């Protein structure tokens, strides 16, 4: 982690502006998603990553296009940063056919193969072994691809964490594990769920060295993740990175937040990753008078369009309920699924011999 | 002894059961994710940390297999742990401790040691939580010998069965329902009120068809029976088994012998479901009394989709039960 007094140098102006723009897009997208939830356009659980934008953009920008990014149920931002169409992300939240996953997965289960965003997963700790599996395939197939796996501080206590660290180290897999330490697993504060709160240290005994970055600083997150990815890719050495951050909103939309004080939230809000980065860019003359406002207006426009698209996209047809349970092929010409309510042809019986 | 009743929500009835059993027996203790400071993801443990303190109400890390396993160990050595899993979907992470350990230990160690553990958790679809958070797993736990399985559908049963579960010396899988938490029902005030395992409830008497409803589907079945009576002149008897192990098969068989028709309604999947099992048992023992094939209304045979219309189509509602019953005549 860089010294607070000595921030890391900014990247070139074009890159700097793109990072700011993307963080703004994620922020505006999340805010609007919350509003759409309040209007019942979005159902289920909605976990917003407001406050965590630097951790998201910093790590993702350290990836190559062919690298894999895998995340949790708090993953709208990860999809967006990887290049998923905001229209399709919003339509997924709306449960529409035009959604990233045709409305099947919803907020917690985003996925965009084309952009190598390998998914959001609803089971805490479930994505860690899968990430190591991506690393295994990259290694096996001899590609140069690396994987970056994000998960929360709460997830570090799942058995999958230790098991995955060990195997990733043992088999020398090109994976960076990024624990997004936002200080809470739901309503349980870090020091109430972990005996050792130095999370970046938690991989060491398994052979996974740790690094830490300031998850409120997009540049620091980028630099640390870049270095970690380099190590993973070239030395075949998995690395655990801890990003120190904070979620400004509740765990999900239904969270009375009785487990933390307003003062604590306000304290962290002073380090808002977007405001502080915009400030730096202004000081460095990378953005001028009115630029940030314009970028923000652009982000709002993208989100407006996404909502309009999502609203216009149809709900999936009821006949499509049984689509995609299996990959249909030679072994699946026969009956495979029970539709108790349909007297007609069963799914699987209707495809040609 | 008091014989009054008070109208309570299902979640309050569960809370009462926990509190009363903790007051009654100091070896009863609670473990689970966010059950203390957060008061429970569904507020079932509301206020218990405050009342009983951190020794007896323990917030745990997100480590399902290990917290259930610690429940097993503590149960073997003198405690009566009640482990809350946030939802039944996460119990799949604890399957090893539940099936390989909790269920087997009394048997494989020749009856030397008991595992008086309760694992409680809600199930159920309808909240658009998608394929990792919406399934119903009673059939899975019913499958494993050594486990008792309760599926309360009313506030009174929630309380009475939970108290019995905590007092029982076997590991109990206690399956609540997300939709039912806010539902109200009359609950006896008597602190000694319990509901025995293995006693089905006849929710409504009838003569033409037996509808067996599991978990929330007992409520759906009752509504369907009302419609069948008012709109189709069919008199349905509705049975809620309340516990799947032990199962009060006699009550179900007596009913089927009277009505000669049977429909089983469950939210889980059809393959290897509770209904598949019950249908086998009924036809083995009451084949000669059946005038129609045993019918099932189940959740659709798909991972639960997020999108609202798809999700609504993927678990049973009253019209499908009505339709399935009419089909038998
Ligand atoms: C196996 C499992 N257990 C419990 C849950 C319920 N749950 C969802 S998110 C969460 C907290 C996770 O905290 P953390 O890993 O720190 O990530 P954050 O939500 O802060 O991003 C819990 C307990 C779950 N989804 N999966």
- pLDDT tens digits along A151-193: 999 999 999 999 999 999 999 999 999 999 999 999 999 999 9
Query: Which pLDDT value is given to residue A4?
Result: 60
Query: Which pLDDT value is given to residue A83?
Result: 98
Least Cα distance to B93 among B137, B144, B43 occurs for: B137
Count the neighbouring beta carbons within 10 Å of the beta carbon of residue A212.
19
Residues B94 and B65 sit within 8 Å (Cβ to Cβ): yes
Using the predicted structure, report yes or no on whether residue A344 has a pLDDT greater than 60. no
Confidence of residue B1 (pLDDT cuts 50, 70, 90): low
Nearest chain B residue to A159 by CA: give it: B63
* CB of residue A101 inside a 6 A radius of ligand 1: no
Q: What b/e sequence results for A144-175 when a residue is b if at least 16 CB atoms lie within 10 Å of its CB, and e otherwise?
A: ebbbbbbbbbbbbbbebbbebbbbbbeeebbb
Query: Which pLDDT value is given to residue B96?
Result: 98
Q: Decide if B62 and A124 are in contact by the 8 Å CB cutoff.
A: yes
Q: Decide if A318 and B313 are in contact by the 8 Å CB cutoff.
A: yes
Token couple for B132:
């990792």
Of A348 and B23, the one with more pLDDT: B23
Token couple for A275:
């405001």
B38 has a chain A CB within 8 A of its CB: yes
In a domain, B196, yes or no: no
Q: List the beta bridge partners of residue A176.
A: A148, A239
Query: Is B216 found in the same domain as B165?
Result: no
Interval B67-109: pLDDT, tens: 999 999 999 999 999 999 999 999 999 999 999 999 999 999 9
Least Cα distance to A320 among B251, B313, B262 occurs for: B313
* Residues of B identified as active-site: 64, 133
Last residue of a domain, one of B160, B188, B216: B188
B327 has a chain A CB within 8 A of its CB: no
Percent of chain B past pLDDT 70, that is, above it, reads 99
Residues B95 and B142 sit within 8 Å (Cβ to Cβ): no
Query: What are the CA-CA distances from residue A46 to residues A211, A254, B250 (Å)?
Result: 30, 9, 46
Query: Is B19 found in the same domain as B141?
Result: yes
- A6-34 average pLDDT score: 97
Query: Which pLDDT value is given to residue A332?
Result: 60
Query: Is B245 found in the same domain as B182?
Result: no
Query: Which pLDDT value is given to residue B196?
Result: 98
Is the entire prediction scored with pTM above 0.80?
yes
- B186-202 average pLDDT score: 97
Q: How far is A76 from A310, CA to CA, in rounded Å?
A: 15
- Report domain extents, chain A: 13-316
Query: Which pLDDT value is given to residue A326?
Result: 83
Using the predicted structure, report yes or no on whether residue A311 has a pLDDT greater than 50. yes
In a domain, B13, yes or no: yes
**Number of compact structural domains in chain B:** 2
Sign of CA dihedral B80, B85, B86, B88: negative
Using the predicted structure, report yes or no on whether residue A202 has a pLDDT greater than 70. yes
In a domain, B179, yes or no: yes
Q: How far is B302 from B280, CA to CA, in rounded Å?
A: 23
Query: Which pLDDT value is given to residue B3?
Result: 81
In a domain, B242, yes or no: yes
Last residue of a domain, one of B188, B221, B254: B188
In a domain, B184, yes or no: yes
Domain range for B315 is: 201-326
Of B165 and A4, the one with more pLDDT: B165
Least Cα distance to A151 among A65, A241, A238, A44 occurs for: A241
CATH number at residue B316: 3.40.50.920
- B189-212 average pLDDT score: 97
Interval A273-292: pLDDT, tens: 999 999 999 999 999 999 99
Confidence of residue A353 (pLDDT cuts 50, 70, 90): very low
Query: Which pLDDT value is given to residue A348?
Result: 45
Residues A158 and A190 sit within 8 Å (Cβ to Cβ): no
Interval B248-279: pLDDT, tens: 999 999 999 999 999 999 999 999 999 999 99
Query: Is B168 found in the same domain as B270?
Result: no
B54-58: long-range contacts, CB 8 A cutoff, minimum separation 24:
B55/B29, B56/B22, B56/B26, B56/B28, B56/B29, B56/B30, B57/B29, B57/B30, B58/B29, B58/B30, B58/B31, B58/B32
Query: Is B205 found in the same domain as B180?
Result: no
Residues in contact with B12: Cβ distance below 8 Å, sequence separation at least 6, in sequence order:
B155
Distance A159 CA to ligand 1 centre (A): 14
- A237-261 average pLDDT score: 95
- B136-164 average pLDDT score: 98
Torsion of CA B97, B101, B102, B108, to 10 degrees: 170
Nearest chain B residue to A98 by CA: give it: B307
Task: State the distance between the two ends of chain B, measured CA to CA, in whole angstroms.
Answer: 48
Token couple for A60:
């993702």
Token couple for A221:
């997150």
Using the predicted structure, report yes or no on whether residue A352 has a pLDDT greater than 50. no
- A255-263 average pLDDT score: 93
- Using the atom order of ligand 1, give the atom closest to the CA of residue A155: 15
Query: What are the CA-CA distances from residue B285 to residues A175, B257, B266, B290 (Å)?
Result: 58, 10, 21, 10
- Using the atom order of ligand 1, give the atom closest to the CA of residue B132: 25
Residues A234 and A171 sit within 8 Å (Cβ to Cβ): no
Query: Is B220 found in the same domain as B184?
Result: no
Residues in contact with A261: Cβ distance below 8 Å, sequence separation at least 6, in sequence order:
none
Provide the phi-psi class of B243: left if phi over 0, else alpha when psi is between -120 and 50, else beta: beta
Torsion of CA A73, A79, A84, A85, to 10 degrees: 60
In a domain, B194, yes or no: no
Query: Is B124 found in the same domain as B40?
Result: yes
For an interface test with B, the pick among A340, A346, A347, A349 (most B C-beta atoms closer than 10 Å) comes out as: A340
Average pLDDT, chain A: 93
- Predicted ipTM of the assembly: 0.95
Using the predicted structure, report yes or no on whether residue B143 has a pLDDT greater than 90. yes
Query: Is B153 found in the same domain as B11?
Result: yes
- A233-243 average pLDDT score: 98
Token couple for B208:
């033409």
In a domain, B112, yes or no: yes
Last residue of a domain, one of B158, B188, B218: B188
The residue whose C-alpha atom lies closest to atom 5 belonging to ligand 1 is A124
**CATH number of this structure's domain A13-316, picked from the four choices 3.40.630.30, 3.40.50.150, 3.40.50.970, 3.90.1150.10:** 3.40.50.970
CATH number at residue B165: 3.40.50.970
Count the neighbouring beta carbons within 10 Å of the beta carbon of residue B127.
14
- Using the atom order of ligand 1, give the atom closest to the CA of residue A247: 20
In a domain, B193, yes or no: no
Query: Which pLDDT value is given to residue B118?
Result: 98
* CB of residue B84 inside a 6 A radius of ligand 1: no
Of B105 and A5, the one with more pLDDT: B105
Residues in contact with A31: Cβ distance below 8 Å, sequence separation at least 6, in sequence order:
A48, A50
Nearest chain A residue to B132 by CA: give it: A122
Confidence of residue A325 (pLDDT cuts 50, 70, 90): confident
Sign of CA dihedral A275, A280, A283, A286: negative
């Amino acid at each position: 982690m860089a010294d607070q007094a000595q921030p890391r140098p900014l990247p070139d102006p074009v890159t700097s502006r793109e990072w700011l723009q993307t963080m703004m897009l994620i922020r505006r997208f999340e805010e609007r998603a919350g509003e759409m939830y309040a209007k019942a356009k979005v159902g289920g659980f909605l976990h917003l990553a407001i406050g965590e934008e630097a951790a998201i953009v910093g790590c993702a920008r350290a990836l190559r296009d062919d690298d894999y990014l895998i995340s949790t149920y708090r993953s709208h931002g990860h999809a967006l940063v990887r290049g998923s169409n905001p229209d399709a992300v919003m339509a997924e939240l709306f449960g529409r056919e035009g959604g990233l996953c045709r409305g099947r997965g919803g907020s917690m289960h985003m996925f965009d193969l084309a952009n190598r965003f390998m998914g959001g997963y609803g089971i805490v700790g479930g994505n860690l072994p899968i990430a190591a599996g991506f690393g295994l395939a990259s290694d096996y197939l001899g590609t140069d691809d690396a994987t970056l796996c994000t998960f929360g501080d709460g997830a570090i206590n799942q058995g999958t964490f230790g098991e995955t660290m060990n195997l990733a180290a043992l088999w020398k897999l090109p994976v960076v594990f990024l624990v997004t330490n936002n200080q809470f697993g739901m309503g349980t504060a870090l020091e109430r769920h972990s005996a050792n709160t130095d999370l970046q240290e938690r991989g060491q005994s398994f052979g996974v060295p740790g690094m830490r970055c300031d998850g409120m600083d997009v540049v620091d997150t980028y630099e640390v993740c870049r270095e970690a990815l380099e190590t993973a890719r070239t030395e075949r050495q998995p690395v655990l990175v801890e990003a120190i951050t904070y979620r400004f909103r509740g765990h999900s939309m239904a969270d009375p937040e009785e487990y933390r004080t307003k003062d604590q939230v306000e304290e962290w809000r002073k380090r808002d990753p977007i405001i502080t980065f915009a400030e730096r860019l202004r000081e460095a003359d990378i953005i001028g008078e009115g630029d940030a406002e314009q970028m923000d207006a652009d982000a709002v426009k993208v989100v407006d369009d996404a909502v309009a698209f999502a609203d216009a996209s149809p709900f999936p047809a009821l006949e499509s309920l049984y689509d995609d349970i299996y990959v249909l092929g030679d072994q699946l010409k026969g009956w495979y699924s029970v539709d108790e309510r349909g007297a007609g042809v069963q799914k699987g019986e209707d495809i040609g011999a | 002894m008091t014989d009054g009743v008070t109208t309570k929500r299902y979640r309050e009835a569960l809370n009462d059961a926990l509190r009363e059993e903790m007051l009654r027996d100091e070896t009863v203790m609670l473990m689970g994710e966010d059950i203390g400071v957060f008061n429970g993801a569904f507020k079932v443990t509301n206020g218990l940390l405050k009342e009983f303190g951190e020794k007896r109400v323990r917030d745990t890390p997100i480590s399902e297999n290990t917290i259930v396993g610690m429940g097993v160990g503590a149960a073997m050595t003198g405690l009566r742990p009640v482990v809350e899993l946030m939802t039944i979907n996460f119990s799949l992470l604890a399957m090893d401790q539940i099936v390989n350990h909790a269920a087997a230990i009394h048997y494989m160690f020749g009856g030397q040691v008991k595992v008086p553990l309760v694992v409680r958790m809600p199930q159920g679809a309808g909240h658009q939580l998608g394929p990792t958070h919406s399934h119903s797993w009673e059939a899975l736990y019913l499958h494993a010998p050594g486990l008792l399985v309760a599926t309360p559908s009313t506030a009174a049963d929630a309380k009475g069965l939970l108290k019995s579960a905590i007092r029982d010396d076997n590991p109990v899988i206690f399956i609540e329902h997300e939709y039912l938490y806010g539902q109200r029902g009359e609950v006896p005030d008597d602190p000694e009120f319990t509901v025995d395992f293995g006693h089905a409830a006849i929710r409504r008497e009838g003569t033409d068809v037996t509808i067996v409803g599991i978990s929330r589907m007992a409520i759906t079945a009752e509504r369907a029976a009302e419609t069948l009576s008012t709109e189709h002149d069919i008199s349905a008897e509705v049975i809620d088994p309340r516990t799947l192990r032990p199962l009060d098969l006699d009550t179900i068989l007596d009913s089927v012998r009277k009505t000669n028709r049977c429909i089983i309604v469950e939210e889980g999947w059809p393959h290897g479901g509770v209904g598949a099992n019950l249908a086998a048992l009924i036809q083995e023992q009451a084949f000669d009394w059946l005038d129609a094939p045993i019918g099932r209304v189940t959740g659709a045979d798909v991972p639960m989709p997020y999108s609202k219309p798809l999700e609504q189509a993927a678990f049973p509602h009253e019209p499908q039960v009505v339709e399935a019953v009419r089909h038998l005549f």
